[in-house]
Every structure is written in structure tokens, then in C-alpha cells.
């Protein structure tokens, strides 16, 4: 049985801001069936400590980046969870990364260096007599861990995997922080953790890990291009032999549709329209559950919407983010009876939307993997997605070949422009008019493999390959 310590800055059901939390929460249980013992280390934010409590202390340090720190053992389903209780760093109001004014916490560098350091020490020294063989780091918040592990002299016996969930976030700090973060000055070079005369936690993870991963095969390829690599494409090209793309999955037990066949969607569709106050129009009800950002392509959706609405389609949107986009969608709602908009996030509403919608729109400019299209597939809510990242890997396009083969599960569009999206929306409406084809696509979508089985097997094989001689 391979022993793996997973190091993540968020994890469902304890704390979540994005898809990383879903992955960190689901992987340990999925991997158990593959013969992998994964334990998870997360920061002891206030809601995490409220859930875990302080019943069983398993490690402590007198001074971890400015204060006393302890590790408490809890449970993540049937698997072991470790919470790093460092009140001076994590016991705060507001979110895990941003303060109450929506700004990065001033000491984020130290906060997540502490998480990385604790992970490295657990791997080097063991915890409760348990010695990890692989340290699986997620995103920049654990990017320092492979370097700390090397500095502790343990990288020759504990392997490290760095997974990129979103390369847009890189953990940048000024060079004056080198000593504060306990980093070796000799490694502040182009071949080390230096990044345009700053220090980068994510680059450190990419340079010092044994293997690199990301959350879809297409995103792995995209990351090695200037367009998507965000300054780190050269580092990734240099290590392309070590880079693996493994798709995320979803917990099918949690994301189970309240119907077994396409016919069962009808009452949920009607209920959604009633709840949102939408008229009984003939076209498809399209849903969006998303952060409202340009990365997610919501600005081009605004421009393309007439292609849907003028043909009897409707839009139900749930999300928050860019204030200008929020205002623009709210204005659209006031001006058009076929548009319903809710600003914020409501998990129960999101589920009702995905169950009741005919299609789910994901027009992202880049999308490492994406989960909402997987939720859509599971519910027979056909995804209309940009041809990028995991969206390209998980949706079978309703091209002439895809339709002729009876395999299509949704629609893809490229390039990511308002014109291309508008054309795809027009095609969506035409497909919806052909209910025989539409229902066949719904059946295909609901049968698509969106769970963790295949991906967990791929991770288990990767870990086994990485294990070093003990």
C-alpha cells in the first residue's frame, strides 16, 4: 500500500473556494480502493478547527513562522485528516486567502510557507509512526514543500508530486522575503525559485518536485505554450517528460441526479422556470454557475446572448465576481424576460439549476479541468463549452462525426470569441428543436464516465512509479 501525504490549502467539506477543494476532499476515498493510503494536511482555519476540534494532538512546534503550532488529527470520511493549528496564521475571520476587504492577507507568504514546512517535516520525520512515501502538493500554497523537504535531507527517500490546478496563481513574493521564508539564497536563480526578480512558490514546486501534474491532458499541453503558461511555460517545457495530465472526477454519490432518465428532467425544468419567474418559451433553458470573470468568458457570453434569447432560449445565471459583469447581467435581467440572475453563491440553488436546466454554458478562455461541465453531464444537462483544457477532454462535440456516431454529449466552440459562442448557441437551439437527437445526447451525457475510478487508478500508478527505495 502506497503511503501519500496530500497537502492542500482547502478541502471539502471543511473549506472551499474552488475546484481544488473538491479534488482534495474526494481523492483520499477514491484512492483507498486503489491500495493507496492518503492522509491530508490542511491549514487550521477557524471553520476547520471548529470541525476537527482539538481532541488528538499528534505534532507540535514551538515556533512555526512566528508562533506555536500543533497538528490535530481528524477524519475526512473514512480517511485521516491533519489540521495545522497555528492561530497566529489561520485563526481569522474572512476567507482563507483574502481579508474582509477582498485583499490578499499581508502574510500569505508566511502562512503557506508554514503549511509547506509542516508538510516537509511530517514527511521527513513521520507522524504517529506513519512515514509517507509520496508528498502530493497542490498549487502554490504548498509549493515550498519540495524545497523544504530537500533542505531537510529527506528528498532522497520521499518523492514529491506538484499538481497545478490553476497556473494563474503563483505565490509571488519580493526577494526581501527569502530569509523570512527560510529559503536557501543560493537557489534564488533562474534555474531555482527566482521569477522575474521575485520569488515564486509555484515555480519552486515545479523545479524541486520529482513529478509534475495537472488536471487534464489538454491543459498539460496548453501549459507549455506562451498563451497559457503565464511565464512558466519554459520551466514546464524543460520538464515535459515529468509532466502528467490526469482528469479530475466528481463524487457521483453526491452529484446524483433526482431522476434516472432524460424524461425525468421535465418536472425539474418546469420547477426551475417557475422559481425564476421565466415565461414558458419553446427554446432551451441554459444555466451558468460560475465566478463572473473574464477567465470564465462571461464577458463574451453577454455579447452572444441575443443568439440564444432571440430564438426562444433562456438564461439562468448564478455567480459573483467582477462588479462590472455583475451589474451588466443584472441590467440584462431587468431588460429581458428570458433572463434570471442571482448574484452570490447558493449550493442548493446551483443543484436545482443543474437538475432543471437543458444546457450548461462554460465559455472559459482557459479551464484546467472544470467541474461544472461534469455536473452537467451527470444530470443530462448538455454542456456547451470552449475548446480548451479539461473542457476539451470531457465533452464529445456534436460535430457531424460525433452525431453520426451517436456519441455526442455536448457542444464545443473555438476560438473563444463572442461570434463563435453565438454560432454555437444557435446550433444549440437547433439541436434542441430535434428532440430525438437531443434526448440521445442526454442519454450519452448521463452515461459518460465522470467519477474518480479511472483517474484514481492513474494516480495510484503514478505514485507507485514514484516510490523511492526505503
Q: Which domains, ranges and CATH numbers included, belong to the chain?
A: 2-249+453-466 (3.40.50.2000), 262-447 (3.40.50.2000)
Q: At 235, list the grid cell.
A: 520551466
Note the pLDDT tens digit of each residue in 115-131.
Answer: 999 999 999 999 999 99
pLDDT at position 247 over 70: yes
pLDDT above 90 as % of the chain: 93
Number of CB atoms found within 10 A of residue 454's CB: 12
Q: Is residue 77 within 8 Å of residue 38, measured between CB atoms?
A: no
Note the pLDDT tens digit of each residue in 210-245.
Answer: 999 999 999 999 999 999 999 999 999 999 999 999
Average pLDDT over all residues of the chain: 96
Q: Is residue 57 within 8 Å of residue 84, measured between CB atoms?
A: no
Q: At 172, list the grid cell.
A: 509571488
User: pTM here?
Assistant: 0.92
Distances (CA, A) of 145 to 43, 128, 271, 359: 14, 20, 49, 41
- The radius of gyration computed from the CA coordinates of the chain, to the nearest angstrom, equals 23
pLDDT above 70 as % of the chain: 100
Residue 217: how many CA atoms within 13 Å on its side-chain side? 5
Contacts of 189 (CB under 8 A, 6+ apart): none
φ/ψ (deg, to 5) at 416: -85, 80
Q: What is the 3-state secondary structure (H, E, C) of the chain?
A: CEEEEEECCCECCCECCCHHHHHHHHHHHHHHCCCEEEEEEEECCHHHHHHHCCCCEEEEECCCCCCCEEEEEEEECCEEEEEEECHHHHCCCCCCCECCCCCECCCHHHHHHHHHHHHHHHHHHCECCECCCEEEEECHHHCCHHHHHHHCCCCCCCEEEEEECCCCCCCEECHHHCCCCCCCHHHCCCCCCEECCEEEHHHHHHHHCCEEEECCHHHHHHCCCHHHHCCCHHHHHHCHHHEEECCCCCCCCCCCCCCCCHHHHHHHHHHHHHHHCCCCCCCCEEEEEEEECCCCCHHHHHHHHHHHHCCCCEEEEEEEECHHHHHHHHHHHHHCCCEEEEECCCHHHHHHHHHHCCEEEECCCCCCCCCHHHHHHHCCCEEEEECCHHHHHHCCECCHHHHHCCCCCEEEECCCCHHHHHHHHHHHHHHHHCHHHHHHHHHHHHHCCCCCHHHHHHHHHHHHHHCCCC
Q: Is 16 annotated as a binding residue?
A: yes
What does the pLDDT read at residue 470?
66
Q: At 356, list the grid cell.
A: 432543471
Q: Is residue 116 within 8 Å of residue 130, measured between CB atoms?
A: no
Q: Is residue 409 within 8 Å of residue 441, measured between CB atoms?
A: yes
pLDDT at position 94 over 90: no
Nearest of 443, 434, 447, 441 to residue 412 by alpha carbon: 441
At residue 190 the predicted structure's pLDDT band, cuts being 50, 70 and 90, is: very high
pLDDT at position 409 over 80: yes
pLDDT at position 246 over 70: yes
What does the pLDDT read at residue 344?
93
Q: Is residue 398 within 8 Å of residue 431, measured between CB atoms?
A: yes
Residues facing 244 on adjacent strands: 213
Q: At 12, list the grid cell.
A: 471539502
pLDDT at position 441 over 80: yes
At residue 253 the predicted structure's pLDDT band, cuts being 50, 70 and 90, is: confident
Number of CB atoms found within 10 A of residue 33's CB: 12
Nearest of 275, 468, 445 to residue 377 by alpha carbon: 445
Note the pLDDT tens digit of each residue in 254-305.
Answer: 899 999 999 999 999 999 999 999 999 999 999 999 999 999 999 999 999 9
Nearest of 349, 373, 329 to residue 268 by alpha carbon: 349
Higher pLDDT, 470 or 366: 366
What is the arithmetic mean of pLDDT over 17-41? 93
What does the pLDDT read at residue 373?
97
Amino acid at each position: 500500500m502506497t503511503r501519500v501525504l496530500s497537502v492542500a490549502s482547502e478541502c471539502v467539506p471543511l473549506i472551499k473556494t474552488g475546484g481544488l477543494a473538491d479534488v482534495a476532499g474526494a481523492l483520499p476515498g477514491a484512492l483507498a480502493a486503489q491500495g493507496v493510503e492518503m492522509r491530508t494536511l490542511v491549514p487550521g482555519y477557524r471553520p476547520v478547527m471548529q470541525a476537527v476540534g482539538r481532541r488528538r494532538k499528534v505534532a507540535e512546534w514551538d515556533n512555526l513562522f512566528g508562533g506555536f503550532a500543533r497538528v490535530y488529527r481528524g477524519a475526512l470520511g473514512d480517511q485521516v485528516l491533519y489540521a495545522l493549528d497555528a492561530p497566529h496564521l489561520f485563526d481569522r475571520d474572512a476567507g482563507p486567502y483574502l481579508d474582509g476587504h477582498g485583499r490578499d492577507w499581508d502574510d500569505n507568504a508566511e502562512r503557506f510557507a508554514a503549511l509547506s514546512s509542516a508538510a516537509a517535516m511530517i514527511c521527513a520525520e513521520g507522524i504517529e509512526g506513519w512515514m509517507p512515501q509520496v508528498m502530493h502538493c497542490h498549487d502554490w500554497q504548498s509549493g515550498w514543500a519540495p524545497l523544504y523537504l530537500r533542505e531537510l535531507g529527506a528528498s532522497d527517500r520521499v518523492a514529491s508530486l506538484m499538481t497545478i490546478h490553476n497556473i494563474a496563481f503563483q505565490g509571488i513574493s519580493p526577494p526581501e522575503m527569502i530569509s523570512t521564508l527560510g529559503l536557501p539564497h543560493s537557489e534564488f536563480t533562474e534555474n531555482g525559485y527566482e521569477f522575474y526578480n521575485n520569488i515564486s512558490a509555484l515555480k519552486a514546486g515545479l523545479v524541486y518536485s520529482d513529478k509534475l501534474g495537472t488536471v487534464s491532458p489538454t491543459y498539460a499541453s496548453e501549459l507549455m505554450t506562451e498563451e497559457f503558461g503565464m511565464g512558466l511555460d519554459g520551466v514546464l517545457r524543460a520538464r515535459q517528460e515529468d509532466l502528467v495530465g490526469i482528469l479530475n472526477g466528481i463524487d457521483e454519490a453526491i452529484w446524483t441526479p433526482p431522476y434516472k432518465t432524460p424524461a425525468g428532467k421535465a418536472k425539474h425544468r418546469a420547477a426551475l422556470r417557475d422559481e425564476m419567474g421565466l415565461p414558458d418559451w419553446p427554446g432551451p433553458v441554459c444555466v451558468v454557475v460560475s465566478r463572473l470573470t473574464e477567465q470564465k468568458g462571461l464577458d463574451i457570453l453577454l455579447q452572444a446572448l441575443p443568439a440564444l434569447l432571440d430564438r426562444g432560449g433562456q438564461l439562468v445565471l448564478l455567480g459573483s465576481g467582477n462588479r462590472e459583469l455583475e451589474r451588466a447581467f443584472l441590467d440584462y435581467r431587468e431588460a429581458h424576460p428570458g433572463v434570471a440572475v442571482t448574484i452570490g453563491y447558493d449550493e442548493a440553488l446551483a443543484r436545482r439549476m443543474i437538475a432543471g436546466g437543458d444546457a450548461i454554458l462554460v465559455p472559459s478562455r482557459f479551464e484546467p479541468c472544470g467541474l461544472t461541465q461534469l455536473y452537467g453531464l451527470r444530470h443530462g444537462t448538455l454542456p456547451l463549452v470552449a475548446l480548451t483544457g479539461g473542457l476539451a477532454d470531457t465533452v464529445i462535440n456534436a460535430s457531424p462525426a460525433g452525431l453520426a456516431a451517436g456519441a455526442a454529449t455536448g457542444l464545443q466552440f473555438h476560438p473563444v470569441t463572442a461570434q463563435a459562442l453565438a454560432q454555437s448557441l444557435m446550433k444549440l437551439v437547433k439541436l434542441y428543436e430535434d428532440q430525438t437527437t437531443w434526448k440521445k445526447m442526454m442519454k450519452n451525457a448521463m452515461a459518460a464516465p465522470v467519477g474518480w475510478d479511472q483517474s484514481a487508478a492513474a494516480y495510484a500508478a503514478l505514485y507507485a512509479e514514484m516510490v523511492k527505495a526505503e
